[in-house]
Structure 1
């Protein structure tokens, strides 16, 4: 699979490392341009390259992993997604995480808001409940596999993300749609920051 990232911080890098380790191609992008990612892509190896956000967004599966205030700019002007999958790994911090102020979206969940900015995309919420170090680490432990919660309104898209992340070693758990499942996963929800293992 060809995977693109919008953002190249801790979460995007962790997902990219899992992806290349399992034979997937990765195109990483950020707001500073491909040249700023040269050292990172060299470290990731020949399956990774840097690109523009438009090039990353053209991949079969796109990971959105930027700070919440940067979401609108990160997705502005991208070509239509035409049914491609976007994994939304964001959390709606209206201010830096140390202050932990949550953006007020009214009735919308964070991923419903993200989906509204990405016409044609099949959005799957995933990775946002885990701290970066738990995403980066080997998800397989003696006691079981790291649970990865996910939610989305398209069943096929969720199956694709579940199969991909299970291949990485995670134990994906489908929580339903972006409204119900997303509310459980987003900041302030009962699953935010919850790190559990599933025994096989």
Structure 2
């Protein structure tokens, strides 16, 4: 599968490092074309392509929005997402980190689905700190989990498969409406990490007997 990662900040670069180590093709894009990140990863022995946002979307099977939630609407207007799997990793947090800007009767993922009605929107990876990408996903005998939600069953299964290829313990989190619960979980993880002093080497874990 060809994966386009839109955004080359901490999350985007971490995801690029992670998926560049799999069998999948990776293209990175930002307002400047993504070449700086592609060059950095080349220096690390990893191969990714760089492209404009429109070019990256056109050649990808799955697109990861690795940008702040507030930037998504502008990106949605720059390319044709019809039929594409769009993976939303955002947590719609206010600038002062005090609350979610979308909550209750909707979620960032559901709002993105409204923006891109012809796309196949999937929520995933929003509970993972950027610094955890590219390294070992093993924590005290447990594997780092990601929770994957979508109303498109085939798209959800495809993202679960992608996540497993990258080394995650990927869990089926049901329909896209469940992003209303996954985003607060991501927000709580941020609260633990930054506000409660636990740092960013942490992640939520769903255990079962």
Cα deviation digits, residues 58-93 of structure 1 (max 9, x gap): 2011100101221111222311x2322111011112
> Are residues 1:12 and 2:9 paired?
no
Question: Residues 28 and 191 of structure 1: is their aligned pair in 2 closer, same or farther, counting only changes over 3 Å?
Answer: same
Any conservation in 1 of the 2:85–2:122 contact (CA below 8 Å)? yes
Counterpart of 1:48 in structure 2 is 48
Give ranges in structure 2 of 5+ residues lacking alignment: 190-202
Counterpart of 1:148 in structure 2 is 146
> Are residues 1:182 and 2:182 paired?
no
Correspondences of 1:100-179 after superposition (within 5 Å)? 100-104=98-102, 107-141=105-139, 143-179=141-177
Shift of 1:112: 0.4
RMSD (Å), alpha carbons: 2.5
Any conservation in 1 of the 2:160–2:170 contact (CA below 8 Å)? yes
Cα deviation digits, residues 79-109 of structure 1 (max 9, x gap): 1x232211101111231xx533421466221
Correspondences of 1:14-93 after superposition (within 5 Å)? 14-43=14-43, 45=45, 47-58=47-58, 59-79=60-80, 81-93=81-93
Give, in whole Å, the separation in 1 of the partners of 2:152 and 2:68: 25
Relative to the length of structure 2, the TM-score reads 0.82
Give, in whole Å, the separation in 2 of the partners of 1:25 and 1:12: 15
Cα deviation digits, residues 27-66 of structure 1 (max 9, x gap): 1011233444453343355630110001121201110010
Deviates more, 1:81-90 or 1:190-199: 190-199
Give, in whole Å, the separation in 2 of the partners of 1:176 and 1:107: 17
Correspondences of 1:184-199 after superposition (within 5 Å)? 184-186=181-183, 188-189=184-185, 192-193=188-189, 194-196=203-205
Number of residue equivalences:
195
Any conservation in 1 of the 2:7–2:67 contact (CA below 8 Å)? yes
Shift of 1:197: 6.9
Any conservation in 2 of the 1:62–1:87 contact (CA below 8 Å)? yes
